[in-house]
Amino acid sequence: MVSPAVSISYTPLSICNGNNNSWSSSTSSKFLRCFPSFPVSSVDDENAIRNRRVACACVAPPQDFTPAKFNGAHKIENLSVNKELEDESDVLIECRDVYKSFGEKHILGGVSLKIRHGEAVGIIGPSGTGKSTILKIMAGLLAPDKVLIRGKTRHGLISDEEISGLRIGLVFQSAALFDSLTVRENVGFLLYENSTMHEDQIAELVTETLAAVGLKGVEERLPSELSGGMKKRVALARSIIYDTTKDAIEPEVLLYDEPTAGLDPIASTVVEDLIRSVHMKGEDALGKPGKIASYIVVTHQHSTIRRAVDSLHPGVWMGQLDISWYKSLHADPLMREELFKQVSYSPFVPQFCFALFLLTELERLFLSSVP
């Protein structure tokens, strides 16, 4: 299993997205440039917006954390260098310098990220910055313009064959159920189409999988007869069902695109807890351990960050779970406040929090002075 240690400077999943960036090829050194650029770029806010630059903060401290380590930039560099020497064998997906444009619109300008085994990672950022796009690229649904994507055996553009090297599930923002198919047919779709399993076997497995996400007796309903929250749970069930007649073909990585968008707080909580429960560190509604090794959640909801990515348990902060936050320089101020609030709850990172807080306040002061 994974090395849980994550330092401020190390980026288990780091996005730095900017057309103008001049990072070097090493992931860690990219982040070193990215992080200090946070307040500096704010000085050139117009530029930052034009370049759609997304800065990232990775706030889980390393295992051997002592507050003294977060005294200054030189410390951050040292930590980063240490991490660079670490074993990379637990990296499930690595994207390096992913570029994507739609016509004249440059959406991703050199995004780099790593997903390690066991990580639960959140991605936040304003609308239109390419969060869904990067998920689709990772899932192989979109071809990037220029890229190096590594997923176990996978290099370059993703093909079906290569995907078999790493099993990825994607839960779409809209649930994306087939309206004319029943819940059973939706959840078992892949198995009906692609497996040698008998129909009764699939039906049984569908019922079991639905029960794992807390849904019972809805197998024969149409999607139009479900609430928004139920649809999301059906979509989740569809993404975690797998052919039990084969060895290990359940997805290893699940990508959630705004899984709680449009849900009320209670329905959101249910989905957030489900996301946790299907992770290998969780337990599903039937009490079985989850099978998903790692997941990424794109979200705009504070509660989802808190519940599905960041549980403020000290263990989390000590590295049982890696947490990354992405934030835009012009991000939703509430989201940013949430980030700092959560960070500052942690007794382990007071100095880092204080530094971030100061930087934010400085940036805010500067922005408020811009006419």
Interacting residue ranges for ligand ATP, rule: CB under 6 A = 102, 105, 107, 127-133
Query: How far apart (Å, rounded) are the C-alpha atoms in residues 91 and 119?
Result: 10
Asked if 56 and 76 count as a contact pair (C-beta separation under 8 A), the reply is no
User: 76 or 135: whose CB is closer to ligand ATP?
Assistant: 135
Residue 164 Cβ vs ligand ATP, minimum distance, rounded to whole Å: 25
CB of 264 to ligand ATP, least distance (A): 19
Of the pair 93, 213, the CB lying nearest ligand ATP is at 93
To the nearest whole angstrom, how small is the minimum distance from the Cβ of residue 136 to ligand ATP?
Answer: 8
**Nearest distance from residue 102's CB to ligand ATP, in Å?**
3
CA dist., res. 202 & res. 308, Å (int): 29
The residue among 83 and 327 lying less far from ligand ATP, judged by its C-beta, is 327
C-beta closer to ligand ATP: residue 133 or 342 = 133
Q: How far is the CB of 127 from ligand ATP (least distance, A)?
A: 3
Nearer to ligand ATP, 28 or 133 (CB): 133
Is the four-CA dihedral 319, 254, 113, 326 of positive or negative sign?
A: negative
- Residue 193 C-beta: closest distance to ligand ATP, Å: 25
Least CB distance to ligand ATP at residue 297 (A):
12
Task: Tell me whether residue 137 or residue 349 sits nearer to ligand ATP (CB atom).
Answer: 137
- CA-based nearest residue to 336, from 49, 55, 16: 55
Tokens of 250: 């359940």
With respect to ligand ATP, which residue has the nearer C-beta, 130 or 290?
Answer: 130
Spatial CA neighbour of 352 closest among 24, 230, 360: 360
